[in-house]
Amino acid sequence: STIRDIEEINYLAIKNYVPKLYGGKVTFFSAAEEACPEENLTGWRKLAQEVEVVEVPGDHQTMIKEPCVQELAKALEKNISKADE
């Protein structure tokens, strides 16, 4: 099936991908209700020179749904504006 083919292609891509170190800053939007927020940051801290953490309401699933997504949108907008300065 098409879905199974996509899953296999995604698996192979993940298996074969070797991430490179990033010399800049990564902004990580962290869900406030996440059970283990540090666990989510571990990989990013290994790959980026600097990781800025911005906490937003919700958990991994609800941070992108109403009403939490409004706060995520505000945080994104603020960070994009700051980057343009």
Strands in 1-85 per DSSP E: 22-31, 48-56
Is 85 strand, coil or helix?
coil
Nearest to 83 by CA among 11, 37, 75: 75
Contact (Cβ atoms closer than 8 angstroms) between residue 52 and residue 27: yes
Task: HSE, CB side, 13 Å, CA atoms: give it for residue 25.
Answer: 9
Q: What is the pLDDT along the chain (85 residues), one digit of tens a residue?
A: 899 999 999 999 999 999 999 999 999 999 999 988 888 899 999 999 999 999 999 999 999 999 999 999 999 999 999 887 7
What is the structure's pLDDT at 7? 95
